[in-house]
């Protein structure tokens, strides 16, 4: 059925032009090109433009749903990440009170530099988001866009909570240059050997929370995570995961802590 009559007339015009070129001994390339345009015009005349429009709308909805999934995953992952930072801050305050009351020296929980604490925290968030959407299956352009979204959302949360910002990241200037440096660092996490332990701890926490357990269970899955380097142990409260990472002297970052990187790929 003909849905677009205009292309019928266009096809006839190109057919006539092809005959004219042939009768007047034009170059075969010109004749062939004209014939192809005529065939293409006749084919398009039978296509329903509504179907194309519907298909475009359908693809647009699919993209929006994908973006929503990414946004929801980041939001869900931010909850235990920011919650973990607050737990660590609370533990450090309790430590100071115990020291004043008893006079005993308590293990220092806050010895890392602000930049390293910032990267470890956002790296922890990255691990949780990766578990939800699997970065390895993404095209580079989409991956870069999600990294920027992740860093932007984390920075918003930090700037919103002044106490948290002052306690952890007082010397970290969340400017555009730092933004790009952080995105670059996240895109090169494989260069950080200790991130394997961060991954294992983040996944272990997520597993416990999804299982609706109040404490880390004594099962084969937990043993597997501990073997991979998880800092959570049987009986631990899962929300302590990030605190354990920040207070672990063995977990040290080596790359891009003070670099001047302004571009990432």
| Domain extent listing, the chain | 5-47, 66-246
Q: What is the mean pLDDT of residues 229-253?
A: 91
**Which pLDDT does position 63 carry in this prediction?**
42
**Which pLDDT does position 265 carry in this prediction?**
45
**Which pLDDT does position 263 carry in this prediction?**
44
**Which pLDDT does position 253 carry in this prediction?**
84
**Distance (Å, rounded) from C-alpha 6 to C-alpha 33?**
20
Of 77 and 61, which is predicted with more confidence?
77
DSSP letter assigned to residue 112: S
User: Is the pLDDT score of 245 beyond 80?
Assistant: yes
- Mind listing the pLDDT tens digit for each residue in 147-190? 999 999 999 999 998 888 888 888 888 888 888 889 989 988 88
For the chain, the average pLDDT equals 77
Within 103-194, residue ranges assigned H as helices are 114-133, 140-160, 162-169, 176-187
**Which pLDDT does position 99 carry in this prediction?**
47
Phi and psi, residue 213, nearest 5°: -100, 140
Of 98 and 88, which is predicted with more confidence?
88
């Amino acid at each position: 059925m003909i849905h677009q009559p205009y292309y019928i007339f266009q096809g006839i015009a190109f057919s006539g032009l092809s005959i004219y070129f042939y009768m007047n001994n034009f170059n075969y390339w010109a004749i062939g090109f004209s014939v192809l345009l005529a065939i293409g015009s006749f084919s398009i005349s039978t296509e329903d433009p509504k179907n194309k429009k519907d298909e475009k709308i359908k693809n647009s909805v699919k993209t929006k749903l994908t973006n929503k999934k990414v946004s929801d995953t980041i939001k869900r992952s931010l909850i235990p990440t920011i919650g973990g930072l607050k737990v660590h801050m609370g533990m450090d305050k309790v430590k100071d009170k115990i020291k004043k009351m008893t006079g005993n020296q308590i293990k220092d929980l806050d010895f890392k530099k602000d930049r390293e604490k910032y990267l470890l925290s956002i790296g922890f968030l990255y691990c949780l988001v990766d578990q939800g959407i699997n970065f390895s299956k993404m095209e580079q352009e989409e991956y870069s866009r999600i990294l920027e979204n992740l860093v932007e959302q984390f920075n918003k949360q930090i700037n919103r909570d002044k106490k948290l910002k002052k306690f952890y990241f007082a010397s970290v200037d969340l400017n555009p240059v730092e933004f790009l440096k952080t995105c670059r660092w996240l895109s090169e996490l494989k260069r950080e050997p200790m991130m394997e332990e961060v991954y294992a701890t983040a996944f272990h926490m997520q597993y416990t929370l999804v299982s609706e357990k109040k404490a880390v269970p004594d099962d084969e899955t937990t043993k597997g995570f501990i073997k991979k380097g998880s800092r959570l142990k049987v009986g631990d409260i899962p929300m302590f995961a990030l605190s354990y990472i920040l207070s672990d002297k063995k977990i040290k970052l080596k790359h891009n802590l003070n670099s001047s990187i302004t571009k990432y790929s």
